[in-house]
């Protein structure tokens, strides 16, 4: 595939967007952008005392490589800066130009199919029950050797989803033409196969 072809993958926290996006990008030999990292990088700078809008306007690629971005505190800070319209505006053009690169691109986030790339050739909305998603995020934290409490992680995930769905700027919701993939009872391989089939259907 050499012409631009954008695959938009949205959904709530820990639904499997990143895992599916990486596998889909590898399958179709496309570039992949985890747009959550942009908001996490801004959130991390705010936790260090920076102004959110200034941080979003001055982000550089190396800001996305910080290991501490995966933490729960950074995730909450990310969803707090993500309600600010000027923060979203500052990050828009980078995402749009990434999406149109030759060879195609997979972007995952919350508003890719609705706001960033409303004309994306394929749109997926990946979801799973809140309990399943919280357990997955909890297992990840434990595997990384971090102390975690399942009730706290569940509350955290639910609070972030609620904030992401309720905000006025680019709220989390499926695009009208998105294919829904519920991964609650799917293995990773099954979810990836469903995503690849949905993209192939759009490629005709
Ligand atoms: O990117 P997002 O936050 O939506 O989720 P992720 O980081 O791709 O997935 C969260 C966790 O769920 C990872 O540890 C995945 O391995 C796991 N997962 C799973 O167990 N079953 C799936 N069908 C998809 C993801
Ligand atoms: O990996 P997980 O799904 O838990 O979160 P993430 O994708 O890294 O996103 C972190 C936060 O950034 C989300 O809770 C959203 O508030 C925000 N975000 C957004 O507003 N728009 C995007 N396109 C991606 C993330």
53 assigned to some structural domain: yes
Q: What is the pLDDT of residue 146?
A: 86
CB of 183 within 6 A of ligand 1: the answer is: yes
Give residue-wise pLDDT tens across range 127-157: 999 999 999 999 999 999 988 899 999 999 9
CATH of the domain at 37: 3.40.50.300
Interface pTM, i.e. ipTM: 0.98
61 assigned to some structural domain: yes
Q: What span, in angstroms and rounded, lies between the C-alpha atoms of 175 and 140?
A: 29
The pLDDT-based confidence of 51 (bands split at 50, 70, 90) is very high
What is the arithmetic mean of pLDDT over 147-169?
A: 96
110 assigned to some structural domain: yes
Pick the more confident residue, 162 or 3.
162
Q: What is the pLDDT of residue 176?
A: 98
What is the extent of the structural domain holding 146? 6-203
Q: What span, in angstroms and rounded, lies between the C-alpha atoms of 51 and 45?
A: 8
135 assigned to some structural domain: yes
Q: Which ligand gives the minimal distance to the CA of 85?
A: 2
1 assigned to some structural domain: no
What is the arithmetic mean of pLDDT over 102-117?
A: 97
Cα 191 to averaged position of ligand 1 atoms, centre (Å): 10
Q: Are 40 and 79 in contact (CB under 8 A)?
A: no
Give residue-wise pLDDT tens across range 62-87: 999 988 999 889 999 999 999 999 99
Q: What is the pLDDT of residue 2?
A: 61
What's the gap between Cα 197 and its chain centre? 20
Predicted confidence (pLDDT) at residue 4 exceeds the cutoff of 80: yes
Q: What is the pLDDT of residue 1?
A: 47
Cα 13 to averaged position of ligand 2 atoms, centre (Å): 7
Q: What span, in angstroms and rounded, lies between the C-alpha atoms of 103 and 14?
A: 27
What are the helix (H) ranges across 6-57? 17-28, 36-47, 52-57
The pLDDT-based confidence of 3 (bands split at 50, 70, 90) is confident
What is the arithmetic mean of pLDDT over 44-59?
A: 98
The domain tally of the chain equals 1
Cα 140 to averaged position of ligand 1 atoms, centre (Å): 9
User: Looking at ligand 1, which residue's alpha carbon is closest to its atom 19?
Assistant: 188
User: Looking at ligand 2, which residue's alpha carbon is closest to its atom 3?
Assistant: 13
Q: What span, in angstroms and rounded, lies between the C-alpha atoms of 170 and 85?
A: 9
């Amino acid at each position: 595939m050499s012409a631009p072809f954008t695959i938009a993958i949205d959904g709530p926290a820990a639904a499997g967007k990143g895992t599916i996006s990486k596998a889909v990008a590898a399958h179709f030999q496309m570039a992949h952008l985890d747009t959550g990292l942009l908001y996490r990088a801004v959130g991390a700078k705010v936790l260090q005392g920076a102004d959110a809008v200034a941080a979003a306007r001055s982000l550089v690629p190396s800001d996305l490589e910080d290991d501490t971005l995966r933490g729960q505190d950074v995730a909450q800070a990310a969803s707090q800066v993500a309600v600010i319209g000027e923060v979203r505006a500052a990050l828009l053009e980078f995402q749009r130009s990434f999406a149109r690169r030759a060879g195609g691109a997979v972007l995952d986030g919350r508003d890719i199919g609705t706001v960033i790339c409303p004309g994306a050739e394929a749109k997926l909305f990946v979801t799973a029950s809140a309990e399943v998603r919280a357990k997955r995020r909890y297992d990840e934290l434990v595997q990384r050797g971090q102390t975690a409490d399942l009730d706290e992680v569940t509350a955290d995930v639910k609070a972030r989803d609620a904030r992401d769905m309720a905000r006025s700027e680019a709220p989390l919701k499926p695009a009208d033409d998105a294919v829904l993939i519920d991964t609650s009872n799917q293995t990773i391989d099954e979810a990836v196969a469903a995503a690849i089939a949905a993209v192939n259907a759009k490629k005709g």
